[in-house]
Amino acid sequence: MVNKLMNLKIYPFIVQLLQFTTPLILLNYLIIYVYFSSINYTFYYPIYLIYLIFFTFSIIILLILIKSKNKNIDRVGYYFLLVTTIKLILSYLLIEPIINQESENNIEKINFFIIFISFSAIEVLLTSKLLRED
Query: Taking residues 20-48, what's their average pLDDT?
Result: 82
Give the pLDDT score at 114: 92
CA dist., res. 75 & res. 93, Å (int) = 27
CB 53 within 8 A of CB 94: yes
Give the pLDDT score at 4: 60
CB 62 within 8 A of CB 83: no
Global pTM value: 0.85
Give the pLDDT score at 131: 85
Q: What is the pLDDT of residues 90-130, one digit of tens each?
A: 999 999 988 888 776 688 888 899 999 999 999 999 888 88
Helix (H, G, I), strand (E, B) or coil at 104: coil
Q: Is the pLDDT of residue 68 over 60?
A: yes
Q: Is the pLDDT of residue 31 over 60?
A: yes
Residue 76: count of CB within 10 angstroms of its CB: 20
Higher pLDDT, 62 or 106: 62
What letter represents residue 72's amino acid? Answer: N
Query: Taking residues 2-22, what's their average pLDDT?
Result: 74
Query: Taking residues 48-73, what's their average pLDDT?
Result: 90
| Annotated domain spans of the chain | 2-132
